[in-house]
Structures are given as structure tokens and as C-alpha cells.
Structure 1
Amino acid sequence: MEELKLQQKEIVEIRQGEAYAPFINDENIYTKKFYIESYGCQMNFSDSEIVASILNKEGFGATRNCEEADLIFVNTCSIREKAEQTVRKRLTEFRKIKESRPGTLVGVLGCMAERLKSKFLEEEKLVDIVVGPDAYRALPALVEEAETGQKAVNVMLSRDETYADISPVRLNSNGVSAFISIMRGCNNMCSFCVVPFTRGRERSRNPISIVAEAQDLYDRGFKEVTLLGQNVDSFYFLDEEKNETITFAKLLELVAQVHPDLRIRFSTSHPKDITEDVLHTIAKYENICNYIHLPVQSGSTRILQLMNRTYTREWYMAKVAQIKKIIPDCGISSDMITGFCTETEEDHQDTLSIMRFSEYDYAYMFYYSERPGTLAARRYEDDVPLETKKRRLQEVVDLQYQLSLNSNLKDVGKTFKVLIEGESKKSTNDWMARNSQNKVIVFPKGDHRFKKGDYVTIKVKECNKATLLGEVV
């Protein structure tokens, strides 16, 4: 299984837990220090930036060294069992720091906090503070309570919290790309997913605050923003004063109009909600990236119905065809789950065939992990043997390798406008950039005086399954 994980990581950008600290941190301002590790989806990383802003105002500065922190937080994910196991291991390690540094407080944030609050506090006694995704404003009071030796908990879900008025501290930022959370929660109730139970119902931010945040980021030198939500396409805001409804297509247009040099990305799209208006808006604006993450989960209509995905195999394929017609050079990625309840070999072959039809550039691929509290856990038996799940996952991974390589081979000889994100991880003599289709392109620095955040025109000379290699035109 370790080999499988390493293979997946080559083409799938699965972000592991990492310590987050602001790229600017004046040591003279802060008298106390906090440390955050974030796991899971981009929303968790964005939430950590909100938490950092709240803690900064309370006199806490970020540190990359957990052993010197007064507060240690783990921002958690409950999507897969492995993520929860990783968090438990880290909390056990942090307990040792508590023992060596009396007064250090350890807290759990995010989805696991919501789902396992009593277990953390009572059974395992690993943490002092437990805070759900909608309760970060309460952190100062919870820290104060925990400092008295009490266990501090707030996991209340909200129907209106969006943190729209909080300016996030950009953590571990490259100074080029940033996240903007545009909505919270999810109404879809996919049977395998815990998000509706850990993050609550959908609510959208005021678009004025979103556009203002995008403008502020551009003014500060950022060149790319990613609009985040569990399901961005269901963004909906009613401006009662103007009696005007702002849809996601309209919001995309408003953000794109901030400046033509500010690139716009978004994630994630639920196939049922990405409208033709959204596609035409992407096609209209050069600075809205031609890339859509469109999770399919399974290629079998029968399994999709059990997953409560609300679309069929044929409907999804028609949506992919529509995307390619309106945005001919659009990059498409996806999510796949193998071994969902009752999945047969025929169902699995349907997934492989829909991958071939869609020709995904890359994918996030996992075998099914039953999550307590979900509809699937209550309704269905997790009856596919683990060995079968892993074998099917390997077949999905192998196919995606080939699809990724085929996609990259088609780009050899083409020219792209790319945004430099930083130096290549493999060589300081090369730049790493990304094109509109979200593909990584590496090229030599040469004698050019480019810098991070510059747009450059690159011709692709060769490739591998994960990266395009090019040169300056």
C-alpha cells in the first residue's frame, strides 16, 4: 500500500498535513506563539488563515516550531479514515510537548472536532480545546477558559457564519496565489460524505466582501485567487436592496473584472450545479482559468444513485461534452472512489470507461472508507473486501497515469501563457509555473530577469506524466 501511495502522489496533488506560518511575521509584535497543522481539503487551509487572523489580534504570532508554541492546533479532516488516524498520531506526539512544557495548550479544529468532540476530551484526553468550523470567533474566550484548566469546547454549527469580515492571514504563502472562501457548508447529502454534518448547511458570502478581498490581494501583489466552497456552483446571494440575485456565474464575472492580470480559479464543482452560464463566463474572460474540477466519484449509474449524487452516467458524460464544446482547451480533473457498497466488477468497469471518455488531466483517487454518521453507514453494508478495493484502486491509478501522460503529450509543441509560482523543487536554475489548465510547467531561468508572479510565454518541448518541460518563447 505504501507503494500505491507513492505512485498516487506523483500525479495527484494530495496535500499532507503541514505546519502553517505567515510569510510575514514581526517577532516584536507578538508576545505568545501559535502553531497550526492543516489536513484535508483547501477549505481547511483557508480556515487556518482565518484562525491565524483571530489569534494575531489576541497577541499570538505564528511559529513553524511546535516545541516553542503556547498554542498548538490541528485543523482536521474527517473525509477518510487515514486522515483521522494521522491526526490521532500527531495529537499523541503533541501530548509529549505538553508534558515537557507545562502551560502549552493543544486544540483540535475543524471537521474532526465537530464529529469526535467527546471522544477527544473524555476518552483520550488528548486536547484542551475543541472548536468546530463555525466557532472560530470564540477562540479567544476558549483559550482563556482552557488556561484555567477547564476543557473548552464550542462545536455549534451556524446558519449564517461566513467570516466575511475577517481578513485572513496568508499562511505559508508564495505571495502569488491565495484562497478566497466564498461559501460554507453543503446541502447535497452524498451518502458517503460527512461534510453536511460537520460543516452544516450552505450559506454564501456577500459578493461585495469577496470582490473587495480579491481587490486587496491584487493590490498587495497577488496574481491568482482560488474561490473556495464545498460546492461553489451553488453560490447564491440575494441583494435585497437592489432586488438582484448573484449567481456563481455573476460572481465569477465580478471577480474577473477586478483586474485582467488577476487569474481566477475555483473549486469544487458539483456536476449537477455547473451551469451553461458558468461555462460561457469562463470562455468570455481570459483571466478565468480554463480548468474545472468535476468529481464523478463513480462511472456506474447504479452506484451514483446509492451515493445520492443526483445524476446518471449519461448525464455526466453529456456535461463533459458540453464543457469541451464551450471551452475546447479546458482542463478537467476528477475524484474517484473505488469499492463503494455493493460495487461489482461491472460497476468498476463503468468507472474506468467514463475516465477514458472524460480524458481527465489528473484525479484524486481513493478506495471507499466508511465514515460513521453518514447515510451510507446507516443504510448500506460496507461489503466490498479491502483487497478488492485496493486492486480496483490500483487499476484506476494505472489508467489515470496513462491519461495524464496522454494529455501532457498533446501539449508538446504548444505555447502557453504561464504564471511563475516560484523556483522548481528540483533545481534553483529552473522556474516552476502553471498554465490556465492548471498544469505545472518547468523551464530554465536562463539570462531572463523574470521573478515570481510574472507572466511568461512558454513553448512545451517535452513532458512526463506529471510535468510539462518548456522554454521561453
Structure 2
Amino acid sequence: MLERMNHTMHEESKQGEAYAPFVNDPTAYNKKFYIESYGCAMNFADSEIVASILNENGFGATRNFEEADLVLINTCSIREKAEQTVRKRLTELRKVKKYNSGALIGVLGCMAERLKAQFLEEEKLVDMVVGPDAYRSLPALISEAETGQKAVNVLLSRDETYADISPIRLDSNGVSGFVSIMRGCNNMCSFCVVPFTRGRERSRDPHSIVKECADLFNNGYREVTLLGQNVDSYYWVPEHNSPSTGGGRGEAAVTFANLLEMVALVNPLLRVRFSTSHPKDITDDVLFTMAKHENICKYIHLPVQSGSTRVLQLMNRTYTREWYMAKVDRIMEIMPDCGLSSDIITGFCTETEEDHQDTMSIMEHSKYDMSYMFFYSERPGTLAARRYKDDIPEDVKKRRLDEVVKLQNALSHKSNLKDLGKTFKVLIEGNSKRSDKDWMGRTSQNKVIVFPKEQYELNKGHYVMVKVTDCTVATLIGKIEP
């Protein structure tokens, strides 16, 4: 998703750029599909919806694209590099035609929505182009493509939320699961393609969300992450929804704070996380709800993008530097132990050295535990591309990015050092990648912690108290407290 991610992220906490699904019983399905996902967590969640739709229509999953009848790549358009990566991967996946001449290749998601015309013109690259609101039409599109015709559906919807579809969990650790609570975005940040590739904002029926979370818990999951482009603007009005989905005129509207509590009450052993928050929309109600429930993780991803009020106005972020810092102060007032992370762009249009220093100082004020950092890359069709000149030389963008990364590394290390000697409740997610003699999990504050298994009979999905004994820039190292 990002051109340059936080250098302090330990390998234990990284997610692969692409993944293939679990392998179903091969005798249960007539055909096989293979899927890879790139970009944000929402794309990974969407792939799980696609898998469910395909399962219902006779397709079982495979990890080997060479034996697939259908190869899908779920794409990201947020950065130019992400699109280049997808194009290169599509060329590689074309090899499936050597093993199965009738195999189909499809592009899903944001890149499909943005570059539909180009994909259709490049006849040898793909057979299907499917936008993020058109996954229900996949069976019909597959049938059309099987006749040799190019199949395309990139229509955006004002009401599609896939609320009635139970996702098939792909490559899951069996402990943590994504749950989409809304789709689209109304914010129109000038640098962002999301409003054009995912459409207008709409909230999913809360009853279906709670049911999905409860089903995950009953199947052994112990953590859910509620997903949305801007979760804090979640707002479900029953009068605007069909009573058949659980809504009715006698019901009250549901805010994000209400939804958080509903999910937290599924079971106290179910951890609740969410992403992403927009600074302008996160409310005291949300913060107090987080503080009230122990199983709502004390961690907020609060993208700042820039520390300069002037640049923030160009970005159409709708807040000032001072307003953002006051919001950070309010979070820490209500939850002093809250972890905080951010997104940061360097080299946006007209950015000066003074603007850059404002970004550095707002990082120091906010004391981020980690950040996703990247330099500005103009995206065609965005407001910024139409209104402003991309006038910062690339070497300047990269130099400023390097300074931001170095500062974040220092902030991350300082944050971890403060945890030495403290004991945290940790959800075990699995073995450490470096040694099967160690467990890996995360604290409520979303910090990765590695600790030896020792003689204790534990397994992934268990909670355990771990005392921090050491740390690196990116990872806590601990020991189980007897």
C-alpha cells in the first residue's frame, strides 16, 4: 500500500504484500481459484468476501496458481509503485495459460476501478475487470469471460456493503480476523484516490457486524479489527435500511461508539481493534467507550499526513496543526496508556522546509509508537493532480522522508524503552518467525512482543501476562509472569 513503510516494523508484525488462500478439500469443488491481495486491510477483507462468493459457485481455493481455473489479483491504487507491482505480477500470472488454456485472469479492486479502460485495451493481460462494489456479479462475469468476451463491471454502489455474505477466512492465523463495517469515503482528501475507486460512504447494518464477530469468537478467534476508510464516521440509520436486515423504525441510530460497545459485549475475551480513524471525526464518546471496556484495545491509528496547517489545507484535511495536537492531548487525557500511530506524507505540493519542520515537531508532540511514512506521489484524477503542481524534486522528497523515518525510529525506541519492567496482557498469535521456541503476540497498544515458551502449556489464542525485559527499536522482548 505504501511506497515506504515504517523502517522500525519488526518482521513479526509485517504482513506480506500478497497472499493465497487456504486449500479446500479439492474433491469438494469442480474448479479452483487462486487469489492475491495487495494494499490495505480492506482489500484483504474484500478477498475473503470474493472467496465466499466463489465457494458458493463451485470454486475451491488453491495455493498454486498454475493449477487454477481462475486467477484473481485484488489491487491497490494508492501509490504508483503499487500499480507497477500489480502490472508486473499480472505478467507473471499469465503463465497459467500455459498449463490451462481455458484459465481466466481477473483484476479486482481499486486499480480495476481506476484503470478499467487501460485493462480492456491491453487484450492479453486480463479477461475480467471487477470493481469493489461488483463482486456479486462475479459468477455472471466468469460465464461471460468463458465465451471469449472481455467481462467488466466497475459500477459503484451507494448501498452495497456485502452485509449478508459470510467471508471465507484466507490464510488466517485463526486468532485475528478483519470485519468490514463500512465502505467508501466522503472526505475527498486532495491526494487520495479512494473516493473515486470505492465510492461514497455507507455504513453496514450493525446486527450483521455483531453476528460476524460472534461467529468468529465461536470459531476460536480472539481478536477482531473493525475496518473502514474512516470508522469514526460510521453511522447507521435504521429508517434508511430494510427491516429484513435487522433494522426497523423503532430502532435508534447507531454511532461508531455504540458499535464499539456492541462488539465489545460479544465476549470479554474478544479483543476489539479498529482502523482507520480520521482526526476530525473521532469523538469523546469513542474515547470513553474505549476506556470503559478492557477488551477494546488502547490503540488508535490517527493519520496526520502533515504537521503544517498550510499544507493540511491544500490536502483538504479539514483540521489545523493546533487542532490535531489538541486531539492527541485529549486522547492521552482520557487514556494515558493509549498507543498512537500515524500516516505521514513528505514532499506534498509546495511543501517548504518550514512545513517539513512542522511535520517533525508534530511527530515529537504526538510521540507516535510507529508510523507509515512515504513521499508524495501524484495520482491521476485526484483533486491535487488537477489543482496543484507536483513541484518538489524527488531527491528533496526522499531526503525529507529519510529525516522523518529517522525521527520515527528514535520515537519508537523511546516508547519501547518506557515499557521496560512493565507487565502486559498479551494475546498469543503464534510462533515467533525467528524461533518456534518463542511465542509472538501483541499488547493492547499494538506493540509486538516476543517471549520464550518455557515450560508453560499455552497455545495461540491464549492470553498471558508478559513482563518486558528488553526491547529493540521495533519489538518488545519479554518473559511470562508466573
Could you say which TM-score interval applies, normalised by the shorter chain? Answer: over 0.9
Work out the CA distance in 1 between the residues paired with 2:394 and 2:5. 15
Residues 370 and 12 of structure 1, relative CA distance in 2, 3 Å threshold? farther
Residue range with higher mean Cα deviation, 241-250 or 38-47: 241-250
Deviations 1:57-93 (A, max 9, x none): 1111111111111111110000000000000000111
Work out the CA distance in 1 between the residues paired with 2:9 and 2:474. 10
Matched, 1:458 2:466: yes
Matched-pair contact (CA < 8 Å) for 2:12–2:448: no
Q: Which residue of 2 aligns with 1:384?
A: 392
CA-CA distance at 1:4 after TM superposition: 7.2
CA-CA distance at 1:14 after TM superposition: 6.0
Work out the CA distance in 2 between the residues paired with 1:8 and 1:14. 10
Unmatched segments (≥5 aa) in structure 1: none
Q: Which residue of 1 aligns with 2:25?
A: 26
Unmatched segments (≥5 aa) in structure 2: 240-248
Q: Per the alignment, in what secondary structure is the counterpart of residue 19 of structure 1?
A: coil
Q: Per the alignment, in what secondary structure is the counterpart of residue 411 of structure 1?
A: coil
Q: Which residue of 2 aligns with 1:195?
A: 194
Deviations 1:84-128 (A, max 9, x none): 000000011112322443011100000000000110111353100
Q: Which residue of 2 aligns with 1:227?
A: 226
CA-CA distance at 1:16 after TM superposition: 4.2
Work out the CA distance in 1 between the residues paired with 2:7 and 2:297. 27
Matched, 1:250 2:249: no
Residue range with higher mean Cα deviation, 362-371 or 232-241: 232-241
Q: Which residue of 2 aligns with 1:394?
A: 402
Matched-pair contact (CA < 8 Å) for 2:276–2:301: yes
Q: Per the alignment, in what secondary structure is the counterpart of residue 421 of structure 1?
A: strand
1:270-289 equivalence runs, <5 A: 270-289=278-297
CA-CA distance at 1:13 after TM superposition: 5.7
Q: Which residue of 1 aligns with 2:68?
A: 69
Matched, 1:268 2:267: no
Matched-pair contact (CA < 8 Å) for 2:57–2:139: yes
Work out the CA distance in 1 between the residues paired with 2:295 and 2:5. 34
What is the one-letter code of the residue matched to 2:368?
Answer: Y
Matched-pair contact (CA < 8 Å) for 1:224–1:263: yes
Matched, 1:423 2:422: no
Residue range with higher mean Cα deviation, 98-107 or 415-424: 98-107
Matched, 1:17 2:17: yes
Matched, 1:317 2:325: yes
Matched-pair contact (CA < 8 Å) for 2:6–2:372: no
Work out the CA distance in 1 between the residues paired with 2:66 and 2:11. 33
Work out the CA distance in 2 between the residues paired with 1:14 and 1:433. 13
CA-CA distance at 1:20 after TM superposition: 2.3
Residue range with higher mean Cα deviation, 179-188 or 89-98: 89-98
Q: Which residue of 2 aligns with 1:413?
A: 421
Residues 14 and 470 of structure 1, relative CA distance in 2, 3 Å threshold? closer
Deviations 1:392-414 (A, max 9, x none): 00001000000010000000100
What is the one-letter code of the residue matched to 1:77?
Answer: C
Percent identity between matched residues is 72
Residues 417 and 367 of structure 1, relative CA distance in 2, 3 Å threshold? same
Q: C-alpha root-mean-square deviation of aligned residues, in Å? A: 1.5
Matched-pair contact (CA < 8 Å) for 1:21–1:172: yes
CA-CA distance at 1:427 after TM superposition: 0.2
Work out the CA distance in 2 between the residues paired with 1:8 and 1:451. 27
Residues 124 and 385 of structure 1, relative CA distance in 2, 3 Å threshold? farther
What is the one-letter code of the residue matched to 2:428?
Answer: I
Work out the CA distance in 1 between the residues paired with 2:184 and 2:284. 24
Work out the CA distance in 1 between the residues paired with 2:124 and 2:192. 27
Work out the CA distance in 2 between the residues paired with 1:424 and 1:13. 10
Matched-pair contact (CA < 8 Å) for 2:430–2:440: yes
1:43-442 equivalence runs, <5 A: 43-123=42-122, 125-240=124-239, 241-442=249-450
Matched-pair contact (CA < 8 Å) for 2:297–2:444: yes
* TM-score normalised by length of structure 2: 0.95
Deviations 1:371-401 (A, max 9, x none): 0000000000000000000110000100000
What is the one-letter code of the residue matched to 1:347?
Answer: D
* TM-score normalised by length of structure 1: 0.97
Matched-pair contact (CA < 8 Å) for 2:5–2:373: no
CA-CA distance at 1:334 after TM superposition: 0.2
Query: Which has the bigger relative contact order, CA under 8 A and spacing at least 6?
Result: 2
Work out the CA distance in 2 between the residues paired with 1:288 and 1:267. 13
What is the one-letter code of the residue matched to 2:273?
Answer: R
Work out the CA distance in 2 between the residues paired with 1:148 and 1:8. 49
